[in-house]
Structure 1
């Protein structure tokens, strides 16, 4: 799918398990979703999904409530969604999603990470034809009839459905996020993470040595406090 290749999974999950970095990132996602779509999770699919993702990561309820409250405060920090596009070593393409209260700081940090790790920050729009924006849902494995589930979800914008031992991955057009989110909730499926992701239109393969070079850049990007997610065109 190009979001993260298999051999990176263990190190990536270990990093995200560091609560000092994980919870602030989850809180930002909740705050932005609440500010954009309203404070009522029942009426705001993005907020419901952000909360579900936080709960799946064992984020305390007090932290979740505090993030929603900050979104309603007049004196709260204004956090903006920003994305950057870049090129990693060996020509791998990267989309970087950030949430920041200081875009000047964020772009300087992201640019420095690219330049110090063999990459290059590109002008936004350069990769617009290389990635598609998709509604992506990571759920606990489904124990029922997958074919039946697939047929039901097609009416709500499903484009692809794939199950592994670890999760059920559901993908649809970004405009179908709300309908798919509500339908999955109504069916009682357990959400691990959901959101709008950048999916490569033409994934590429790289050898092990190339992947190690690319990994260094990806690690540094994901460690930045303002970076929410990193997507690549790696197959």
Structure 2
């Protein structure tokens, strides 16, 4: 399974004890509020539907969700936010894409550049690594909650491009235009979904075998995700299961 997904799954399992839950909730609430500006009905607003799914995935309290929707409907949040994607390189030549929502792009680019340089990476020009990624729908299912045959049958029949297994999870990849149909088919089949998001999926990955490089790469990812203005971080690395467990016991 691709390194990003493997690392995302580790974060997901640790999420209930994560001291940064408040910061995660704040970021998800920002997405909900901005999406809700285009309507409060998730059935008619795909962006809101995805944001609500993300809130569910991080166990965000319903009160927080409803407050975020109300803020978005009232135009209190999101009016001044700008979506900006930064591209660069992590140690080992790993490609990095950083999606942000910011009300001060000068502040954000300075923070992102500082994070890259402090951890052995470099911020690049727009387009320097974007061609290595494609926007795809990514759905994850805990392998203990459904059989591989059932997941593959439902997902592929609904139009998914691929189903991968690893790290105790099934990962379903779908084209952006087929994502919601695949997600709905999984729900209708009674298959519990862990996460369902639109991600930037790398066409190929670089295997990281050196412990020092792996530590630097994961440190950079964590630092970027910890930045208040950063919503999502994508990298094209893969790390051996044994090394990943060693780094994240």
TM-score, reference length from structure 1 = 0.86
Q: 1:179 corresponds to which residue?
A: 181
Q: 2:94 corresponds to which residue?
A: 92
> What is the SS of the residue equivalent to 2:37?
helix
Return the alpha-carbon distance in structure 2 between the equivalents of residues 175 and 126 of structure 1.
25
1:64 maps to 2:65: yes
Return the alpha-carbon distance in structure 2 between the equivalents of residues 178 and 46 of structure 1.
11
Q: Which runs of 5+ in 1 are unaligned?
A: none
Return the alpha-carbon distance in structure 1 between the equivalents of residues 61 and 88 of structure 2.
35
The structure with higher relative contact order (CA 8 Å, sep 6+) is 1
Q: Contact (CA 8 Å) 2:140, 2:195: kept in 1 or not?
A: yes
Return closer, same or farther for 1:202/1:83 CA change in 2, 3 Å cut-off: same
Q: Contact (CA 8 Å) 2:29, 2:68: kept in 1 or not?
A: yes
Q: Deviations over 1:31-61 (max 9, x none)?
A: 233335x320122333223223312322111
2:143 alignment partner, one of 132, 141, 144: 141
Return closer, same or farther for 1:72/1:137 CA change in 2, 3 Å cut-off: same
Return closer, same or farther for 1:34/1:139 CA change in 2, 3 Å cut-off: farther
1:225 maps to 2:228: yes
Which moved further from structure 2: 91-100 or 154-163?
154-163
Q: Contact (CA 8 Å) 2:162, 2:172: kept in 1 or not?
A: yes
Q: 1:167 corresponds to which residue?
A: 169
1:102 alignment partner, one of 95, 101, 104: 104
Return closer, same or farther for 1:35/1:138 CA change in 2, 3 Å cut-off: farther
> What is the SS of the residue equivalent to 1:205?
strand
Return the alpha-carbon distance in structure 2 between the equivalents of residues 227 and 150 of structure 1.
33
Return the alpha-carbon distance in structure 1 between the equivalents of residues 26 and 76 of structure 2.
19
CA offset at residue 71 of structure 1? 1.4
Q: Which runs of 5+ in 2 are unaligned?
A: 239-249
Q: Deviations over 1:144-181 (max 9, x none)?
A: 55335424433433011134464332111122222222
Return the alpha-carbon distance in structure 2 between the equivalents of residues 228 and 48 of structure 1.
17
